[in-house]
Amino acid sequence: MANGSPQRTKTQSLLVWLPPVLWMVLIYRSSSLSASEMPSFLPDYVFHFFAYAVLGALFLRAFGEHKTTLVKAPFWAISTSVIYAVFDELHQSFVPTRDCSFKDFIVDVVAVLLIVLIAVLVKKDKMGS
């Protein structure tokens, strides 16, 4: 499959998706907390940036493991992460003391774009060396 590795079993292929799915569950759970239950030692946008940078990286890895999405893995990682960010912000509008924030959404998108760009540049640099 990807990177010339031997054919993967269905189970191995499905397990590649476990980390991003579990991370989305963690984001959803965190988004379900009221504002008073959220840690306040750092600004909210720091948590958003970290959460979505990790999500973008996990999706990039998962999409990059399948030959059908390998070439377009950055596109699919960004698209999927941004769509999830939209639903996450909408979900927060139903949580008491939370709201749907365009600023948080922009931080999510910037985090995903940045991590995918860095990963693509690092991969390009490795291939060029």
In degrees rounded to 5, what are phi and psi of residue 38?
-80, 145
4 token code pair: 């010339």
Question: Considering the domain boundaries, does residue 46 fall inside one?
Answer: yes
Structural domain harbouring 109:
16-32+41-128
- State the Cα–Cα distance between residues 129 and 18, nearest whole angstrom: 32
pLDDT given at position 20: 97
Question: Considering the domain boundaries, does residue 9 fall inside one?
Answer: no
Could you tell me the pTM of the whole model? 0.85
The count of domains in the chain is: 1
Instruction: Spell out the per-residue pLDDT of the chain, length 129, in tens.
Output: 445 445 667 787 789 999 999 999 999 999 998 877 877 778 889 999 999 999 999 999 999 987 777 679 999 999 999 999 999 999 999 998 889 999 999 999 999 999 999 999 998 777 766
Question: Considering the domain boundaries, does residue 2 fall inside one?
Answer: no
Question: Considering the domain boundaries, does residue 3 fall inside one?
Answer: no
Question: Considering the domain boundaries, does residue 112 fall inside one?
Answer: yes
Question: Considering the domain boundaries, does residue 86 fall inside one?
Answer: yes
Question: Considering the domain boundaries, does residue 48 fall inside one?
Answer: yes
Question: Considering the domain boundaries, does residue 95 fall inside one?
Answer: yes
